[in-house]
Structure 1
Amino acid sequence: MKRSALPLLVLLAGCAGDRPEGSTLDVTVVGLDAETTAVGGQVAGPLARRMADELTATTLIERDDAGQLVGGLASSWRFVDSGQSLILRLRPIKWSDDKPLVADDVVAGFRRAAAPPAPQRAFRLAGLVGAEAVARAAGGSRSARQLGVMAPTSRVVEFRLDAPSPLLLEWLAEPGMSVRRPGAPTLARYARQAPVEGDATTVLQRRAMTASPEARPAEVRIHSVAATDVETAVAAFRDGKTDIVVGEGLAGLFAARIGSRREALQVEPLHGVYGWRINSRSGPLVDVALRRALSASIDRDGLARSFATPAIAPQGGILPAALRGGAAVTAPAPVDETAPNGAAPNGAANAASDTAPVAESPLAPPMTLAPPAPVVLRLLVRPGREHAAVAERVAVDWRPLGIVLQLQIVDANMMRGLIEKGDYDLALDDRSLAVADAAALLDRFRCTRTGYCNEAADAALVAARMLAPDQRAAALAQAEALLMAAPPFIPLFTAARWALVSPTLYGWVANPSGVHPLARIGRGRPER
Structure 2
Amino acid sequence: MARILILAPLLFALGACDGGNDERPVVVDAIEDGVKGDAERVLLRSALAQGLVRFDAAGQVEPGLAERWNMVDDGRSYIFRLGDATWSDGRPVTAEQVVVALRRAVRVEAGHRLTPFLRSIDEIVAMTPQVIEVRLKRPNTELLTLLAQPELAVIRGPQGTGPLRRLRGEGIRLRAPADPEGPAPVAADEVRLRGARAALAVARFASKRSDLVLGGDFADWPLVAAASPRPADVRVDPARGLFGFAFVARDGFLSSALGRAAVAMAVQSANLPGAIDAGWGQADTLLPERLDSAADPALPAWRNLTEEQRWATARAQVTAYGQPVRLRVALPRGPGATLLWGRVAVALSRIGISGERVAMTAPADLRLVDRVAPYDSARWYLATACRTCSMDAMTLIAAARDADNLPERAQRLATADAAMAADVAFVPVARPWRWSLVAPRLRAFQTNARAVHPLNHLRADTR
TM range (shorter): 0.7 to 0.9
- Root-mean-square deviation (CA, aligned residues, Å) is 3.5
1:259-291 Cα deviation digits (max 9, x unpaired): 111221111232212112223244543343211
CA distance in 2, matches of 1:267, 1:184: 34
Give the equivalent residue in structure 2 for 1:265: 234
Give the equivalent residue in structure 2 for 1:513: 450
Matching of residue 443 in structure 1 with residue 383 in structure 2: yes
Matching of residue 85 in structure 1 with residue 77 in structure 2: yes
CA distance in 2, matches of 1:527, 1:313: 38
Matching of residue 278 in structure 1 with residue 226 in structure 2: no
- 1:332 Cα deviation after fit: 7.3
Alignment of 1:90-489 (within 5 A): 90-115=82-107, 117-120=109-112, 122=114, 124-130=116-122, 148-181=123-156, 183-192=157-166, 203-206=172-175, 208-210=177-179, 218-227=189-198, 230=199, 232-259=200-227, 260-282=229-251, 284-300=253-269, 302-308=271-277, 310=279, 312-321=280-289, 323=291, 327-330=295-298, 367=314, 368-371=316-319, 372-408=322-358, 410=359, 415-416=360-361, 418=362, 423-444=363-384, 452-465=388-401, 466=403, 468-469=405-406, 472-489=409-426
TM-score (norm 2): 0.81
183-192 or 51-60, larger mean C-alpha shift: 183-192
- 1:192 Cα deviation after fit: 4.8
Amino acid at match of 1:394: V
Amino acid at match of 2:221: L
Amino acid at match of 1:64: D
Number of aligned residue pairs: 432
CA distance in 2, matches of 1:186, 1:193: 14
For 2:105, what is the secondary structure of its paired residue? helix
CA distance in 1, matches of 2:298, 2:176: 53
Structure 1 pair 96–158 and aligned structure 2 pair: CA distance change class (3 A): same
CA distance in 2, matches of 1:186, 1:31: 24
Structure 1 pair 157–83 and aligned structure 2 pair: CA distance change class (3 A): same
Structure 1 pair 497–96 and aligned structure 2 pair: CA distance change class (3 A): closer
CA distance in 2, matches of 1:463, 1:287: 25
CA distance in 2, matches of 1:249, 1:189: 27
In structure 2, the gaps of 5 or more residues are 1-10, 305-309
In structure 1, the gaps of 5 or more residues are 1-9, 37-43, 131-147, 197-201, 334-354, 357-362
For 2:338, what is the secondary structure of its paired residue? helix
TM-score (norm 1): 0.72
CA distance in 2, matches of 1:158, 1:385: 48
Structure 1 pair 28–93 and aligned structure 2 pair: CA distance change class (3 A): closer
Structure 1 pair 315–321 and aligned structure 2 pair: CA distance change class (3 A): farther
CA distance in 2, matches of 1:381, 1:123: 25
1:331-375 Cα deviation digits (max 9, x unpaired): 779xxxxxxxxxxxxxxxxxxxxx99xxxxxx9x95531333542
CA distance in 1, matches of 2:152, 2:423: 35
- 1:167 Cα deviation after fit: 0.5
Give the equivalent residue in structure 2 for 1:143: none
Query: In percent, how many aligned pairs have the same letter?
Result: 29
Give the equivalent residue in structure 2 for 1:359: none
Amino acid at match of 2:454: P
- 1:469 Cα deviation after fit: 4.2
Structure 1 pair 373–195 and aligned structure 2 pair: CA distance change class (3 A): farther
Structure 1 pair 469–305 and aligned structure 2 pair: CA distance change class (3 A): farther
